Amino acid sequence: MLLRGSHPTLALSALTIAALATTVLAISFDAGAAPAGVTITTIVGAGDVLQPAQRLRPPAPENFPMQVTPRCMILDNFGDPRSGGRTHEGVDIMATLGQEVYAMADGTLTYQNVVGDGRAGTALSGNSWKLTSVGGGTYWFYAHLSNFAPGLAKGSTVFKGEVIGYVGDTGNPGTGNYHLHFEWHPGGGAAVNPLGLMTVPPQCSVV
């Protein structure tokens, strides 16, 4: 990645710092040696910032819609009866307030429920997204979010693994019953048990 600004163009490379037990970014200049005294702190202080893709946070798990820590317990309740003759069209992933929720594929956020918008569906699902895949029509539904990721709105394009919201208890779960309700609709059709789609991380239990 290149940082451009009032300084010479900078090239970034990954460097493991054992003392920090994490990956940080080392800085080298395109031409010539770095001026004496120029450090990461100096450059950040001058106004350069990392792009979102370079934030030092754990990557999204592969084929899983949610951050797995500090809590991840999947209720295998697809198809269970619900009030009004409904059946449960997804699974519930129990979590804690604010855990990150991820896009399962590249696509577009084609529908959004927002608490307080007055729609009947919002009373059940709370803050929620419908994510439709590129081209295929397959969509995923994420419900009961505490909030949406900043900068996203209906019509936004997102990429697999991108944060799209945060776990909450909005809608009908009941106060403090924090979880992600997650649905999978292959080809845009009827809901299918998403456990067949997800790669369940070892940190998660299925009950």
Q: What is this structure's pTM? A: 0.72
Stated as kind and residue range, the H or E segment containing 44 is helix 40-45
Report whether CATH 1.10.1240.10 matches the domain 73-206. Answer: no
Contact 17, 40 (CB under 8 A): no
CATH 2.70.70.10 boundaries in the chain: 73-206
- Of the given ranges (21-35, 142-156, 165-179, 186-200), which has the lowest mean pLDDT? 21-35
Contact 15, 23 (CB under 8 A): yes
**90 burial type by CB count under 10 A (0-12 exposed, 13-18 middle, 19+ buried):** buried
Q: How far apart are CA 60 and CA 203, in angstroms?
A: 13
pLDDT at 5: 39
